[in-house]
A and B are shown apart, each in its own frame.
Chain A
């Protein structure tokens, strides 16, 4: 690694280079480790966000925000802490997105239309909400995963978070507690209730 292009004194450049080489090597290793970690969780994180938000773009924004936040704030932390930290950031991002959506709904819910051309605004058929779910939603609803997602959406937020971390992500109680920001006992309680509620909603046949 040569840095003499940014320094006028070759001797100084060599000293600085020798000093910075281990740090640069460590940064490179850290970047590679983060790349591997994020590659393993990004699709799962997206599915979790999509499951909660039911919106592709919002889910993508939340996942990207979680990645940036982890890299900016917690890259220097030991790699075994990344997973609970990442899922905590992700859950906070999902909650924030839901809150923003609720606020938008309260503020602008009465507003007839927030975009589109004049023709769209004037078209009563286009403005009328579709009473039936779209083809994708219909397909999903008929599938097993669709039922699971709907059942998870119906759970209280903390129970859903406990189920996602413990069951879908395979995290242990301690990591789940770190991700949820609560005690181990609370995790066990939320998870137990989530299992019961899902069992009831999905039925014995699922």
Chain B
């Protein structure tokens, strides 16, 4: 018998023995294997279901997102409009005026002047004329 024949015989016998041992597995082991397979396939079905759920909601989610975006764009202030630009410039001028030291001095002088005028008017009412010097 050649080496090839011997190897072929070995292969055939090993295969037959293995098949017989697979067929001879007890019922409990078969049942556990079946359960393991069902668990694995159940996971596949769960994945498919969750993906399908997302797919079903996709149009609704897209519509909702588009609506929210439209509202945001509509309600958001647009700084490029002329009215808003003018308002922004005015506010800037006010800030410059308020922080300008020369204008602040002028304002303080005005207040002194108004206080002087009010004081003079009071003296006139009390009979103390501006031109009526005591000395």
- Which residues of A line the B interface, CB within 8 A? 3, 6-7, 9, 12-13, 15-17, 19-20, 23-24, 27, 30-31, 34-35, 38-39, 42-44, 46-47, 56, 60, 63-64, 67-68, 70-72, 75, 144-145, 148, 163, 167-168, 170, 195, 198-199, 202, 204, 206
Give the nearest-CB partner of B45 in chain A: A31
Q: Knowing A7-B56, A27-B48, say if A67 contacts B40 (CB, 8 Å).
A: yes
- Summarize A's interface: helix, strand, loop or mixed: helix
Task: Tell me which residues across on chain A come within 8 A of B87, comparing CB atoms.
Answer: none
* Beyond A47-B18, A199-B6, 8 additional pairs, beta carbon < 8 A: A6-B53, A16-B56, A24-B48, A27-B52, A34-B41, A47-B25, A71-B40, A168-B15
Count residues on chain B whose CB falls below 8 Å from chain A CBs: 36
- Is B21 interfacial (CB-CB < 8 Å)? yes
Partner of B37, one of A17, A27, A38, A204: A38
In the bound complex, do residue A167 and residue B40 qualify as a contact, i.e. CB atoms below 8 Å apart? no
In the bound complex, do residue A31 and residue B44 qualify as a contact, i.e. CB atoms below 8 Å apart? yes
A101-B63 Cα distance, complex, nearest whole Å: 56
Task: Tell me which residues across on chain A come within 8 A of B30, comparing CB atoms.
Answer: 43
In the bound complex, do residue A16 and residue B55 qualify as a contact, i.e. CB atoms below 8 Å apart? yes
In the bound complex, do residue A167 and residue B55 qualify as a contact, i.e. CB atoms below 8 Å apart? no
Task: Tell me which residues across on chain A come within 8 A of B14, comparing CB atoms.
Answer: 148, 163, 167-168, 198
